[in-house]
């Protein structure tokens, strides 16, 4: 798919389907974004001609200038084959079809969809869609037909998102923006008539600025599932691929047929296949966020499932232990010598009230320096593969600098460390202290445990294939 690189970074664009009478039409929204928000030279196209936002409207792609690199088509389905043919004859290789009315509506639409695939193949066009909301690349491109003020736009980062559902994608952008997780690109593929999720996974697998690939998939056509996992097999040793698969229940299967007319599969089969090829199978949206966020920090490898936990609240340690057991993560009991070494690192006045069995409850009397010293000791233990920090900043001895201070301790050890800090504005300095120094922070205990689970899944696979 040679046109994907151009699609994600075009120099000149065109929008087919602008309206000279309705400024809120999808085509007009897309035109304004490209021309005024992205600052791209953009040609509006409508057979009637006229002007849109003070810009002259060309009556066809054929009549437009020859420097177009990307065309966004937003016209009724029956007109799309003709427009696509004009694009091909003009040697345009990148097209996004946001129009609906194709295979998702039945046989009549499926026939038109087959026709546009034939046209795209004939002219070697990379076509995304139809029935999609488009493509978003921070600071570069936004073809979503939704008004900007209604859609969150995450900062530029290293996570690429590919989704068969436009609505699901929009919700993820809201969550990523709210959690300050940056993205490299967000792709809505809709019916995926020609360009498939596999094509984008393969493309992003080669892009150096992408460290994590996340996909929401509702199903595969015949033979596409095998192709998908084979492509992932080549990419996974270099970067994680996370997949949430819809349509695995009977009701979900029926919903996918009416949504993008894709084929859903059995959960057990999907899970087995993903595990075999090292794909991280997220079971819900919480796991999606946890896995995407932690891998955006490029965490250290985990040699095994053994976790040492530090907390200032015994109850939080209990909750973390319960969550960890669900994911096969272990919290081994520290022996007497290990407990004594950690106790000796504590402030003398609080040594007698802290517990070091694992989870280690440093109590509400603990200070930054207690956290630092105990963590430093714990990460030296050979029976620990990772550390989970449950940080409740309510304790009077905990300062806003604890995130950066503890992160600097973690840097001295070759072990995974993740943290939990309540996602409240007053603790923003603590969270940033961790994350600016490479430690991912969950805003719930469950999310922090899920982060460790994602690293565990990937580490086990890399170990199995000898890539770690």
The pLDDT value given to residue 233: 96
pLDDT per residue as tens digits for the range 437-446? 999 999 999 9
The pLDDT value given to residue 247: 55
Cα–Cα separations (whole angstroms), residue 384 to 299, 333, 337, 442: 16, 10, 15, 20
CA-CA distance, 107 to 354, in Å (whole number)?
A: 69
Closest residue by Cα to residue 251 from 218, 227, 300, 295: 218
CA-CA distance, 179 to 130, in Å (whole number)?
A: 30
The pLDDT value given to residue 261: 40
The pair of three-digit structure tokens given for residue 323, joined into one six-digit string: 């969550």
pLDDT per residue as tens digits for the range 359-381? 999 999 999 999 999 999 999 99
Largest CA distance in the chain: 84
φ, ψ of residue 435 to 5 degrees: the values are -75, -30
Partnered with residue 45 across adjacent β-strands are: 16, 58
Query: What is the secondary structure of 389-413 as a DSSP string?
Result: EE--TTSTT--TTHHHHHHHHHTTS
The pLDDT value given to residue 246: 84
The pair of three-digit structure tokens given for residue 329, joined into one six-digit string: 């993560």
Residue 265 has pLDDT above 70, yes or no: no
Termini Cα distance of the chain:
31
Residue 264 has pLDDT above 80, yes or no: no
- CATH class given for the domain over 152-296: alpha beta
- In 3-state terms the chain splits into helix, strand, coil percentages (rounded to 5) of 40, 15, 40
The more confidently predicted of residues 453 and 247 is 453
- CATH class given for the domain over 1-130: alpha beta
Closest residue by Cα to residue 153 from 131, 133, 180: 180
User: How many Cβ atoms sit within 10 Å of the Cβ of residue 440?
Assistant: 25
State the DSSP code for 36.
I
The pair of three-digit structure tokens given for residue 460, joined into one six-digit string: 């086990």
Instruction: Compute the mean pLDDT over every residue in the chain, rounded to the nearest whole number.
Output: 93
The pair of three-digit structure tokens given for residue 154, joined into one six-digit string: 């995450």
Closest residue by Cα to residue 56 from 21, 20, 80, 92: 20
Poorest-confidence range of 139-143, 222-226, 322-326, 385-389? 222-226
**15-39: string of b/e by CB count within 10 Å (b at 16+)?**
bbbbbeeeeebbbbbbbbbbbeebe
The pLDDT-based confidence of 252 (bands split at 50, 70, 90) is very low
CA-CA distance, 412 to 450, in Å (whole number)?
A: 24
State the DSSP code for 6.
H
The pLDDT-based confidence of 394 (bands split at 50, 70, 90) is confident
The pLDDT-based confidence of 268 (bands split at 50, 70, 90) is confident
Closest residue by Cα to residue 291 from 145, 380, 146, 161: 161
320-335 average pLDDT score: 97
pLDDT per residue as tens digits for the range 144-158? 999 888 889 999 999
CATH 3.40.50.720 positions along the chain are 1-130
CATH 3.40.50.261 positions along the chain are 152-296, 307-464
**78-114: string of b/e by CB count within 10 Å (b at 16+)?**
eebbebbbbbbebebbbbbbbbbbbbbbeeebbebbe
Partnered with residue 156 across adjacent β-strands are: 183
The pLDDT-based confidence of 253 (bands split at 50, 70, 90) is very low
pLDDT per residue as tens digits for the range 24-74? 999 999 999 999 999 999 999 999 999 999 999 999 999 999 999 999 999
- CATH class given for the domain over 307-464: alpha beta
The pLDDT value given to residue 392: 84
């Amino acid at each position: 798919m040679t046109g994907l690189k151009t699609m994600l970074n075009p120099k000149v664009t065109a929008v087919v389907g602008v309206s000279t009478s309705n400024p809120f039409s999808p085509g007009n929204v897309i035109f304004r974004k490209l021309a005024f928000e992205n600052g791209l030279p953009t040609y509006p196209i409508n057979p009637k001609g006229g002007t849109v936002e003070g810009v002259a409207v060309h009556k066809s792609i054929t009549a437009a200038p020859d420097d177009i690199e990307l065309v966004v088509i937003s016209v009724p389905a029956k007109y799309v084959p003709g427009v696509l043919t004009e694009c091909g004859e003009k040697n345009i290789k990148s097209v996004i079809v946001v129009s609906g009315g194709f295979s998702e509506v039945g046989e009549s639409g499926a026939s038109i969809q087959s026709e546009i695939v034939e046209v795209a193949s004939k002219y070697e066009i990379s076509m995304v869609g139809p029935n999609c909301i488009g493509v978003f690349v921070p600071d570069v491109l936004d073809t979503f037909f939704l008004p900007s003020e209604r859609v969150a736009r995450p900062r530029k980062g290293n996570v690429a998102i590919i989704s068969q559902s436009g609505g699901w994608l929009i919700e993820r952008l809201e969550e990523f923006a709210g959690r300050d997780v940056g993205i490299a690109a967000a792709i809505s593929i809709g019916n995926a008539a020609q360009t498939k999720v596999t094509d984008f996974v393969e493309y992003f697998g080669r892009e150096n600025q992408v460290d994590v690939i996340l996909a929401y998939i509702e199903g595969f056509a015949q033979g596409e599932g095998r192709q998908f996992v084979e492509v992932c097999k080549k990419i996974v040793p270099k970067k994680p691929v996370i997949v949430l698969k819809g349509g695995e229940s009977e009701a979900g299967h029926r919903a996918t047929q009416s949504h993008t007319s894709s084929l859903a599969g059995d959960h057990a089969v999907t899970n087995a296949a993903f595990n075999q090829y090292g794909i991280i199978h997220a079971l819900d949206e919480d796991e999606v966020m946890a896995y995407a966020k932690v891998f955006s920090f490029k965490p250290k490898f985990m040699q095994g499932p053994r976790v040492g936990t530090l907390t200032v609240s015994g109850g939080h340690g209990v909750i973390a232990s319960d969550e960890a057991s669900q994911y096969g993560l272990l919290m081994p009991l520290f022996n007497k010598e290990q407990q004594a070494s950690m106790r000796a690192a504590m402030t003398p006045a609080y040594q007698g009230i802290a517990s070091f069995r694992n989870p280690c409850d440093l109590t509400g009397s603990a200070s930054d320096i207690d956290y630092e010293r105990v963590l430093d000791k714990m990460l030296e233990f050979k029976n620990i593969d990772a550390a989970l920090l449950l940080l409740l900043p309510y304790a009077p001895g905990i300062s806003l600098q604890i995130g950066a201070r503890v992160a600097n301790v973690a840097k001295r050890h070759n072990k995974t460390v993740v943290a939990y800090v309540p996602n409240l504005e007053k603790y923003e300095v603590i969270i940033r202290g961790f994350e600016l120094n490479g430690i991912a922070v969950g805003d719930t205990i469950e999310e922090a445990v899920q982060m460790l689970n994602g690293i565990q899944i990937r580490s086990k696979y890399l170990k199995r294939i000898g890539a770690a």
